[in-house]
Amino acid sequence: MRIGRKVGSAALAATLVMLTACTTPDTVTPGVRDHSPTAVATPTHSAETDPAKLAIPLNSLPNFQAGTPGTDGWTSISMTGSEGEASWRIWNNDNQVLDKYTPDQTVAFGAPQTYTQVPGVLTFRGNNFRDAPAYGTAEVKEKKLEIVWTQEIGEAHGDGSYWPGAGWTGQPLLVNWPEATRKAMGFAAEFADKDLTEVIYPVFEGKIYRLDLETGKQTKPPIDVGCGFKGTGSIDPRGYPLLYAGQGLNDMDNNEDTDDCPFRYRIFDLIQNKEVSGWTGQDDPARPRKGWGAFDSSALVNAATDTLIEPAENGLVYKAKLNAKFDPVAKTVSVDPVLTKLEYKTPESVNLTLDGELREAGGIESSAAAYRNLMYATDNDGNLICWDATTMRIVWARDVGDDSDASIVIEDAPGGPFLYQGNSLDKRGKTGGPMVTNLRKINALTGDIVWEKDIPTVASYPNNGGLLATPALGQGDTADLVIFNVSKTTDPALCVFGKCLGDFGGELIALDRQTGEVVWSRHLERYSWSSPVIFQGKDGHSYGVFGDAGGLLHLFDPNTGQDYSTVSLGKNIEASAAVYNNMLVIASYDKKIFGVRIS
């Protein structure tokens, strides 16, 4: 709609009221469901955790390439699915490029159920497959959401932006501490003698909140770092009182001098309630991206080898031998990380333009997923890389078409394993490329595309449209489905003189895992970056939750896409939820953390 006359504030407000009154509910369009589960099956996975037995020999992989050595430590292989080469080199803890990296131990992850024996959600989406944002089962009778506690949180003004509450990816960590760890933590009696499930939540204002899941009371004072967090932290899966959290903001006061918070990856001792170790992302000599050093990725910790893996926005993948020690009797915990760093490049890494100017390679905002010794992440340049956690070499790499920030989800199924991922609309929106988001299923061993579904998407800057939310794999009665939450698929209802009434719309879409065909598609009146969570009810049914840009938290049926109920959390819910039995925790732009009961 074009309006050729100036619209005053009163008229603008009246128009907004009219549009709000005429807004239609989200609409769901059913598709075809050919592979609906006939019974609820419990997946069987090996309990093996010995990395030496889990590791896949690289030369046994289909289409394996040994690599061609080059100069300055670089080795290259051919890209998968496109022309050109992917190249990599390895840096050591002393910031030297290695001619040859000889690791002293094999690093490989087991089945996702073996990632941790500690109850809860201890990293983004729960494990190395990134498929478990919920722990336990919920007693669902009324199919409603009820806010039972809130915690006020702050805001940050920095980098020319305003950051209230918590945002993308912003998932809380929920951990039911082992008794020995809880006793060592030094809680007040109220929590020391309780079977405590603790909420640990790094947020924009630069504080890490520690709360009792049941009541929302503070278990300890917030850790005041003073430098903001955007991504999701990780708790050590061994039950050690260690928090790993990457800094997402380097400017907290809108001062042009951003050195008030140099980018850093931080490790916290939760007994002392303070930072005890970490490393720079801003001044690392190995970094290919010089102008940005944030850490939005949520680390994976390989408990068997005491190893942490953390991709970074400076373009490096960090592997840290933690040398972690925990003495619950002495009530002490320590770390002394030794780093190995993977630097890589592809044709996309050096072929980006912005307003006609070449710019430096992008970094990784997605959180790495792991299948045994094979690890996966996507980056801002549109690369999907697979690397070996042991040798830190690239195994295969492919161009996925555009900036890809949403984390990959792994499915271990016959003919697989498989990856589910999608991109956003960034580079193509500037260059006139296809205005779509590509949703894909990919063979995890070869990088070959199994199927692809294109979703029309609107170009929007500076905040992109497309897949920012991590896909959700169905379970039980939804085990045939993968659910994607695609943002900004339609324009706002009306824009006048640069001001828009309404918001961008989105698409919540369930695809058949085998074929990629649409099972149902739901148009959202308000777009969403929040990753949908599928959890199981004690009644044997699956349930789903997600938040939208309008501040609504939705409880929906993942079989149909229809809402059971909603509750308002005030403002934009950009963060992703974590669920523990009947309790859900999430924060919004309303500057609150919410404890929500599922009933």
Which band of pLDDT confidence, cut at 50, 70 and 90, is reported for residue 429? confident
Q: Note the pLDDT tens digit of each residue in 252-285.
A: 988 766 568 999 999 999 999 999 999 999 999 9
Residues 240 and 214 sit within 8 Å (Cβ to Cβ): no
Q: Which residue has the tokens 């805001």?
A: 155
Bigger pLDDT: 42 or 95?
95
CA triple 82-410-438, angle to 5 deg: 45
pLDDT (average), residues 561-578 = 98
Is the pLDDT at 17 greater than 50, yes or no?
Answer: no
pLDDT of residue 358: 55
pLDDT of residue 11: 36
Tell me what percent of the residues of the chain surpass a pLDDT of 90: 85
pLDDT of residue 39: 53
Q: Where are the alpha helices (DSSP H) in 231-339?
A: none
Which band of pLDDT confidence, cut at 50, 70 and 90, is reported for residue 498? low
Type of residue numbered 120: G
Cα 146 to chain centroid distance, Å, stands at: 26
Is the pLDDT at 6 greater than 60, yes or no?
Answer: no
List C-alpha distances in Å: 370 to 112, 295, 363.
9, 18, 19
Bigger pLDDT: 493 or 11?
493
DSSP conformation letters of 550-591: TSEEEEE-TTT--EEEEEE-SS---S--EEETTEEEEEETTT
The secondary structure of the chain in percent helix, strand, coil, rounded to multiples of 5, reads 10, 40, 50
pLDDT of residue 353: 46
pLDDT (average), residues 93-106 = 96
Bigger pLDDT: 595 or 1?
595
pLDDT of residue 19: 36
Q: Note the pLDDT tens digit of each residue in 144-180.
A: 999 999 999 999 998 788 999 999 999 999 999 999 9
Cα separation, 186 vs 189, in Å, equals: 9
* Chain mean pLDDT for the chain: 92
Torsion of CA 173, 233, 547, 455, to 10 degrees: -130
Residues 318 and 310 sit within 8 Å (Cβ to Cβ): yes
Beta carbons within 8 Å of 258's beta carbon, 6+ residues apart: 158, 159, 250, 251
Cα separation, 133 vs 538, in Å, equals: 17
Q: Note the pLDDT tens digit of each residue in 178-202.
A: 999 999 999 999 999 999 999 999 9
Q: Beta 137-138 vs 533-537: how paired, if at all?
A: parallel
pLDDT (average), residues 452-466 = 92
Picking from 532, 418, 508, the residue whose alpha carbon sits closest to that of residue 31 is: 508
Picking from 34, 132, 1, the residue whose alpha carbon sits closest to that of residue 513 is: 34
pLDDT of residue 10: 36
Residues 204 and 154 sit within 8 Å (Cβ to Cβ): yes
How would you label 86-114 residue by residue, b for 16+ Cβ within 10 Å and e otherwise?
Answer: bbbbbbeeeeebeeebebeebbbbbbbeb
Cα separation, 292 vs 282, in Å, equals: 7
Torsion of CA 274, 278, 280, 286, to 10 degrees: -170
Which band of pLDDT confidence, cut at 50, 70 and 90, is reported for residue 400? very high
Q: Note the pLDDT tens digit of each residue in 526-539.
A: 999 999 999 999 99
| 417: preceding bond cis by omega (within 30 degrees) | yes
pLDDT (average), residues 233-259 = 90
Strands (E), 338-471: 338-345, 353-354, 357-358, 369-371, 374-378, 383-388, 394-399, 409-411, 418-422, 424-425, 436-443, 449-456, 465-467
Is the pLDDT at 3 greater than 80, yes or no?
Answer: no
pLDDT of residue 464: 87
pLDDT of residue 65: 98
Is the pLDDT at 21 greater than 50, yes or no?
Answer: no
pLDDT of residue 107: 98
User: From the DSSP assignment, how many helices (H) and strands (E) are in the chain?
Assistant: 5, 49
pLDDT of residue 360: 66
pLDDT of residue 462: 82
Q: What is the pTM for the complete model shown?
A: 0.94
Is the pLDDT at 506 greater than 50, yes or no?
Answer: yes
Q: Note the pLDDT tens digit of each residue in 108-127.
A: 999 999 999 999 999 999 99
pLDDT of residue 44: 63
Is the pLDDT at 9 greater than 80, yes or no?
Answer: no
pLDDT (average), residues 345-357 = 66
Picking from 572, 525, 584, 507, the residue whose alpha carbon sits closest to that of residue 135 is: 584
DSSP conformation letters of 433-455: ---EEEEEEEETTT--EEEEEEE
Tokens (6 digits) for 137? 């089962």
DSSP conformation letters of 112-128: GGGS-SSSEE-STTSST
Domains of the chain: 45-598 (2.130.10.10)
DSSP conformation letters of 168-183: SS---EEEE--HHHHH
pLDDT of residue 463: 86
Bigger pLDDT: 496 or 520?
520
